[in-house]
A and B are shown apart, each in its own frame.
Chain A
């Protein structure tokens, strides 16, 4: 028997005697519980869909506008048309948007005006093309609009990443990976629009979606979560 065969046989003979210690089972179970609870704590503070919906709703309510003239002046003038799309708005929602913007201004500093400008553009597109839940079906958009809105999503994402205290996906991913990430967001929104699901109501369950859209949704969601996990890991490593 040559020496390599001898070594292989030794491994084969010896490996089964290495039992997994019960200590490992316990540690992994504890670690899983810790990761689960930690995962629940990692909540995105700025979710684009919710933020844009609130922003749009806030912009058309006279009562709300009176409560914060400065904010209303900045946004309202650009979006008078929004009145036709939004029926109700509570003062709580308005205050939430006010706080979100104040927080964004503080976090983004001198970059805030660009974020506000992109947000206004986003709202304009949403008013024009989104359904009542502020979800756009990209599959029915004219090609130019599709490209422009997707580009806008790509441009605004780094600001949402910063507001969520994460590294900017655009800096972390390769251009190809970033394109896939933004495409997955577009795909997910299209599916939610087609299904008439409101993401502001909470996490979307597969059973809320038509069967034919579920595998596409899972794929898009998996891509998005994969990137988010990566960003969270990078943040943790810093």
Chain B
């Protein structure tokens, strides 16, 4: 996402050019959807929240302070709406209903972005198993490459809290990863013994 392009699009949106919003969506949709998908593993809910991000963007783009990077402001909206989503208990009920509906319809086009991750990437599977708070910090640090201070700003929490969450997440992932690696070594050793 190039900041220069975004600024031009925002200026056109402020002038009432609706086409500019569509271009901004095309420019940012991968970044927004992927970030939401990493924070909310359920694909139905990820789509809902990503959609809400754009509704919010449409409503509040005039309040964007041009002195800060646009993606930082946009990610602030993402993080806020993801947190709102988590707080909304009613969504859990709705998700349950939607899941049942999905199972009934068995739409082959539909994919669960993070649920089949185990077969693709063991590390990603472990990241997605982290608690929401720890995973959020890991996503912002390792996927979006934000500094700990920027993450604290985005999440509106002290830097110390970000550091401790990040440290806890890394420790947990390291422990799990070492354990998995050891198991792999052992199983390959057993394989060699069996076939020798």
- Residues of chain A whose beta carbon lies under 8 Å from any beta carbon of chain B: 3-4, 6-11, 13-15, 17-18, 20-21, 23-25, 27-29, 31-32, 35-36, 206, 218, 221-222, 225-226, 229-230, 233
Contact = CB atoms under 8 A, between A and B. Distances in A.
Contact of B138 (A7, A28, A35): A7
Interface string B134-160: 000011001100000000000000000
Contact of A10 (B58, B123, B174): B123
B173 interface: yes
Contacts of B170: 3-4, 7
A229 B63 contact: yes
Contacts of B33: 18, 20-21, 24
Given A6-B177, A8-B142, A24-B29, A206 B123 contact: no
Contacts of A4: 142, 170
Contacts of B29: 20, 24-25, 28
Contact of A31 (B51, B138, B173): B51
Given A18-B34, A24-B33, A222 B62 contact: yes
Interface residues on B, range: 35 or more
A31 B124 CA distance: 32
Contact of A222 (B14, B124, B127): B14
Given A3-B177, A18-B33, A11 B25 contact: no
Interface in B26-57: 29-30, 33-34, 37-38, 43, 47-48, 50-51, 54-55
Contacts of B62: 222, 225-226, 229
